[in-house]
Amino acid sequence: MWCERERTGQVMDDRDRHQAAPPLPPTSFYVLLSLAAEERHGYSIMQEVATLTSGAMRLWPGALYHTIQSLLADGLIAAVPETAGNERWRYYRLTERGRLAAAGETQRLTSLVNLARGRQVLPPQEDS
């Protein structure tokens, strides 16, 4: 699809790119979700991920900073410049690109759930 559109001269915007991008690893997705509401430092991200998954996923320092490193390299999160009050911890924030990536991943998972419902793997959703 990418090649076809590039050949025909259609320009892909960021939203298209993230919809066509490969799935995010679960750890990266949870880190993006934890940063969606506010800027956080490493320990706070770790705690938030544990809360979001009800303790099912614990990110220990090695895995956490490996994920942060790859997200920084992809430009999905950014380090917040140090402020006078927060000298002890480095804070991270979600970039616009990261927000689009998280939205793309959420959409992908939603369509997967809908597919599972269509195949009756999951019970149909009740209208509230």
Question: Applying CB under 8 A, which residues contact other proteins?
Answer: 41-43, 46, 58, 60-66, 68-69, 88-90
Cβ atoms of 30 and 53 closer than 8 Å: yes
Of residues 25 and 118, the one with the C-beta less far from other proteins: 25
Of residues 7 and 88, the one with the C-beta less far from other proteins: 88
CA distance 100 to 2: 18
Of residues 68 and 102, the one with the C-beta less far from other proteins: 68
Cβ atoms of 101 and 18 closer than 8 Å: yes
Residue 92, amino acid: Y
Cβ atoms of 88 and 44 closer than 8 Å: no
CA distance 25 to 48: 17
Task: State the nearest-atom distance from the C-beta of 37 to other proteins, in Å.
Answer: 20
Task: State the nearest-atom distance from the C-beta of 30 to other proteins, in Å.
Answer: 16
Task: State the nearest-atom distance from the C-beta of 113 to other proteins, in Å.
Answer: 30
Task: State the nearest-atom distance from the C-beta of 65 to other proteins, in Å.
Answer: 4
Of residues 68 and 100, the one with the C-beta less far from other proteins: 68
- DSSP label at residue 86: G
